[in-house]
Amino acid sequence: MLTEDAAIAIQEELRRQVITTDELPDTIKIIAGTDVEYDKDSNLIAGSIVLLDYTTLQVVAVATHCMEVTFPYIPGLFSFREMPPLLKAWEKLPLLPDLIVCDGQGLAHQRRFGMACHFGVTVNKPVIGCGKTWLCGEYHDLGEERGSIAPLIESSEHIGNALRTQTATNPVFVSTGHKISLATATDIVLKLCTQYRLPETTRISDHYGRLALLEYKNLEK
DNA sequence: GCGACAG
DNA sequence: ATCTTGTCGC
């Protein structure tokens, strides 16, 4: 069993592989969203990855994987809990995306290695971290209108952005996962929030993950 | 020492 | 995270 100390050592090792500049294809055709759902009354979790056409945001493919949790929830070690079902779902994809949006932080993390970085260096693809709630860093004076941005600062480092994706809603927290700059990541997340607070990638993967969990539970009985 | 803490 | 209708406010 992986201990907390061992997990932190892995983070320290892998963080050096993170690329914080744009290494994207010339044109993004397929964008992926990832999410993990938790069953209320068991240890079951479902990893979910959806592929969308980047221009139309229509679903191209869906892959899910249900399994039991293998690691506890520890803030700062979140990725070790969600990586296993996501990697299993990743293996089931019929094609690979040009870019991925993870639910959770990237560099906006205590040790600069959140979920989006871990997934990015593991599958070696560009990944954006987009968290629904604050984890670390300070931000001030975020405007109220859609598109407003306030830098997330920790130890004098610009680790991410608070981004208001719709007027009069709570912000999301965007940071580099891998092979993408913060500016590009922020721009893309805003574009993906066509109608709701969260990017379509996150909303749709959440939906299919929930379905997969229900199907799996019904199949067991 | 205390508090804060992605999903 | 898990869950869910009605309700409040701009």
pLDDT by residue for chain A (221 residues), tens digit each? 889 999 999 999 999 999 999 999 999 999 999 999 999 889 999 999 999 999 999 999 999 999 999 999 999 999 999 999 999 999 999 999 999 999 999 999 999 999 999 999 999 999 999 999 999 999 999 998 999 999 999 999 999 999 999 998 999 999 999 999 999 999 999 999 999 999 999 999 999 999 999 999 887 76
Measured distance CA(A105)–CA(A90) in Å, rounded: 19
Residue A131 CB in 7 A reach of strand B: yes
8 A C-beta contact, residue A44 and residue A35: no
Instruction: Give distance CA A221 / C1' B4 (Å).
Output: 42
pLDDT value at residue A29: 98
Measured distance CA(A128)–CA(A100) in Å, rounded: 6
Which residues contact residue A59 at a Cβ distance below 8 angstroms, ignoring those fewer than 6 apart? A50, A51, A52, A204
Instruction: Give distance CA A195 / C1' C1 (Å).
Output: 24
pLDDT value at residue A45: 96
Measured distance CA(A179)–CA(A219) in Å, rounded: 39
For the segment(s) A18-220, the CATH number from 3.40.50.970, 3.30.2170.10, 3.40.50.720, 1.10.1370.10 is 3.30.2170.10
Residue A71 CB in 7 A reach of strand B: no
8 A C-beta contact, residue A30 and residue A93: no
Encoded amino acid at A35, one letter: D
Q: Is A77 left (phi over 0), alpha (psi -120 to 50) or beta?
A: alpha
